[in-house]
């Protein structure tokens, strides 16, 4: 009987592998082709003056190291990552914790919170571009009602970056809210009852019970949002096109500009590869230091 069960399990795994193999082979070949092409292209000079790629070795990488715009864009990208992920997760946790109540109308309020996430980034960018408008935007209008003269939100190099950052937090905080709400509901009520019996107040229960038990969810959420922040492009393109000047030029947008505005494909490919390597090592470091398994079985 045990032998028959073992044979059955082996046959089941074999059939599963047979069904998955075609898709896995195609995806692996596709990813390998793109990666190899990207590496080769990053070692070539390919632009408008050179209709076909010309191998130049590490020239693109040497030029990138000397490019101040690259370093500024990279630093701005990391600042954007830290601020957006922190804002989304902290605000999402706060809203989820407040809304984690079994009272009438709470489901409707949760639905309202999720609305920004349902809007595409392009539409959200256009919507907030109107909201931020200096002449007729509602934001400056309401500020004027209380005697405050609003700034040129996305037209000033002092406020443009933070204006885009706020929109990103507004749109993707609901994702953090949804994920954290699911995590809070997975915690057994018995744990909270035990904490109350031990005399723990709300704050102690939050910091010594809820947050530690949510560590797995929070680390996974931070990782997912950090990956998205490292490739932020759409909001920047719609709202500011990287301006004014280079105030909102994140590295993904700089790569796009080099590749599809200046048609320097080799240079753009080299920057893409550098961003890929940096992101990969950064996330590996984050996973190792967090001590949490973010890959569920």
Q: Across the strands, what pairs with 47? A: 50
Q: Within this chain, do residues 283 and 138 fall inside the same structural domain, yes or no?
A: yes
Q: Which residue, among 169, 174, 167, 170, has the nearest Cα to 153 in the 3D structure?
A: 167
- Does 255 reside within a domain? yes
Q: What is the distance between the alpha carbons of residues 277 and 108, in angstroms, rounded to a whole number?
A: 43
DSSP state of 46: E
Judge whether residue 108 has pLDDT over 50: yes
Domain, as residue range, for 167: 43-289
Number of separate domains in the chain:
2
pLDDT digits (tens, 9 = 90+) for 13-59: 677 777 778 888 999 999 899 889 999 999 998 887 777 888 888 99
pLDDT at 80: 95
Q: pLDDT category, 137, cuts 50, 70, 90?
A: confident
Q: Within this chain, do residues 99 and 207 fall inside the same structural domain, yes or no?
A: yes
- Does 164 reside within a domain? yes
Q: What is the distance between the alpha carbons of residues 66 and 270, in angstroms, rounded to a whole number?
A: 13
- Does 184 reside within a domain? yes
pLDDT digits (tens, 9 = 90+) for 68-97: 999 999 999 999 999 999 999 999 999 988
CATH of the domain at 166: 1.10.3720.10
Q: Within this chain, do residues 57 and 196 fall inside the same structural domain, yes or no?
A: yes
Q: Within this chain, do residues 27 and 84 fall inside the same structural domain, yes or no?
A: no
Q: What is the distance between the alpha carbons of residues 11 and 272, in angstroms, rounded to a whole number?
A: 43
pLDDT at 291: 66
- Does 296 reside within a domain? no
Q: Within this chain, do residues 84 and 222 fall inside the same structural domain, yes or no?
A: yes
Q: Within this chain, do residues 111 and 27 fall inside the same structural domain, yes or no?
A: no
Q: Within this chain, do residues 128 and 192 fall inside the same structural domain, yes or no?
A: yes
Q: Within this chain, do residues 2 and 126 fall inside the same structural domain, yes or no?
A: no
Beta carbons within 8 Å of 265's beta carbon, 6+ residues apart:
41, 46, 47, 53, 259
DSSP state of 250: -
Q: Within this chain, do residues 118 and 265 fall inside the same structural domain, yes or no?
A: yes
Q: Which residues of 109-148 are buried (b: 16+ CB within 10 A; e: fewer)?
A: ebeebeebbeeebeebbebbbebbbeeebebbeeeeeeee
Q: pLDDT category, 103, cuts 50, 70, 90?
A: low
CB 120 within 8 A of CB 237: no
Q: Within this chain, do residues 211 and 166 fall inside the same structural domain, yes or no?
A: yes
Q: Within this chain, do residues 165 and 275 fall inside the same structural domain, yes or no?
A: yes
- Does 217 reside within a domain? yes
- Does 243 reside within a domain? yes
pLDDT > 70: what percent of the chain? Answer: 92
- Does 37 reside within a domain? no
CB 62 within 8 A of CB 149: no
Q: What is the distance between the alpha carbons of residues 93 and 210, in angstroms, rounded to a whole number?
A: 11
Judge whether residue 147 has pLDDT over 80: yes
Q: Within this chain, do residues 265 and 136 fall inside the same structural domain, yes or no?
A: yes
């Amino acid at each position: 009987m045990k032998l028959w069960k073992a044979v059955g399990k082996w046959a089941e795994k074999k059939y599963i592998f047979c069904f998955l193999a075609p898709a896995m082979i195609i995806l692996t070949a596709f990813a390998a082709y793109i990666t190899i092409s990207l590496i080769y292209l990053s070692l070539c000079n390919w632009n408008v003056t050179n209709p076909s790629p010309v191998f130049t070795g590490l020239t693109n990488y040497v030029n990138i190291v000397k490019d101040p715009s690259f370093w500024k864009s990279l630093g701005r990208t990391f600042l954007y990552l830290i601020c957006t992920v922190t804002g989304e997760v902290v605000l999402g946790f706060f809203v989820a914790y407040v809304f984690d109540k079994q009272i009438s109308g709470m489901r409707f309020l949760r639905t309202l919170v999720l609305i920004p996430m349902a809007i595409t980034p392009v539409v959200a960018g256009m919507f907030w571009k109107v909201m931020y408008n200096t002449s007729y935007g509602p934001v400056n209008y309401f500020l004027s009602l209380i005697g405050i003269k609003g700034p040129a939100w996305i037209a000033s190099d002092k406020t443009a970056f933070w204006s885009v950052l706020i929109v990103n937090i507004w749109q993707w905080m609901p994702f953090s809210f949804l994920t954290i709400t699911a995590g809070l509901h997975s915690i057994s009520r018995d744990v909270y009852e035990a904490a109350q019996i031990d005399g723990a107040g709300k704050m102690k229960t939050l910091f010594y019970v809820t947050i530690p038990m949510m560590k797995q969810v929070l680390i996974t959420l931070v990782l997912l949002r950090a990956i998205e922040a490292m490739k932020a492009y759409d909001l920047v393109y719609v709202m500011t096109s990287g301006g004014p000047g280079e105030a909102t030029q994140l590295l993904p947008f700089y790569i796009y500009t080099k590749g599809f505005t200046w048609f320097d494909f080799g240079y753009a490919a080299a920057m893409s590869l550098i961003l890929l390597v940096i992101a990969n090592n950064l996330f590996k470091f984050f996973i190792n230091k967090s001590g949490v398994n973010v890959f569920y079985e």
